Amino acid sequence: MSVVRVADERAVTTLTLDSPDNRNALSATLVGELADALTRCGKDSDVRAIVLTHTGNTFCAGADLREPPRPDALVALLRQIVELPKPVVARVTGHVRAGGLGLLGACDIAVAGGAASFAFTEVRIGVAPAVISLPLLPRTDPRALARYYLTGERFDAAEAVRTGLLTATGDDVDDVLAPVLDGLRRASPQGLAATKELLTAKVLEAFDRDAADLTALSARLFSSAQAREGMTAFLERWDPPWVV
């Protein structure tokens, strides 16, 4: 059964992450299906823009610790979103954790409802937000990232807007999204592609410069003894030994 649903309406394709049993975690299956769907959208001249959304109360819980994607596959997915010559808009009504924040960072526009929450939880299981930093560091307030990367604290949608992680928030996410989609539908495909290329140039420089090093760092950390202990503690719901 597919974990990414596809729907089209007036030149906008909605890709819905539909794996609620694992809170839409980034499994190898989900990453592969999402990449395939984005490829099809990129080739379809009828698609003006893509909305990335979710079922359930979680947009994406980060890497699936039971079926994790290869770090290079996640890098490729994030780069694909950034490079796609069509705008990708994140629509969030729930929680976003760890690697899920990388998806938001890769999107061109991200909107969320007021009930959404966010956290970079990697440090708490013995790893680092390495690969997802490729789109996040060029686009997000560095002082805010320093705090939330290092502490794993949860923060709300208003703070996510302040830091640059989100574009906008409101009680009704579809009310916030309506003028965005109206604007994209009024824009020419050529104008959108050229404008997106201007906006993403610095992000792609980060991929070119840092992707190999951050992929290696991610692989090294996830295979470490401390990370294995942290992931086991997370899955079995007990505190790892470094909690004081």
Q: Which residues are paired to 170 by β-bridges?
A: 113
Average pLDDT over the chain, rounded to an integer: 97
> pTM above the 0.85 mark?
yes
Asked if pLDDT for residue 71 goes beyond 90, the answer is: no
Please state, in angstroms and rounded to a whole number, the distance separating the CA atoms of residues 116 and 97: 11
Q: Half-sphere exposure of residue 69, counting CA atoms within 13 Å on the CB side?
A: 25
What are the boundaries of each domain within the chain? 1-172+189-244
DSSP3 helix / strand / coil % (the chain, rounded to 5): 50, 20, 30
pLDDT single digits (tens) 212-229 = 999 999 999 999 999 999
Of the candidate CATH numbers 3.40.190.10, 3.40.30.20, 3.20.170.30, 3.90.226.10, the domain formed by 1-172+189-244 belongs to: 3.90.226.10
In eight-state DSSP terms, residue 70 is P
Q: What is the DSSP string of 147-169?
A: HHHHH--EEEHHHHHHHTS-SEE
208 CB contacts (<8 Å, ≥6 apart)? none
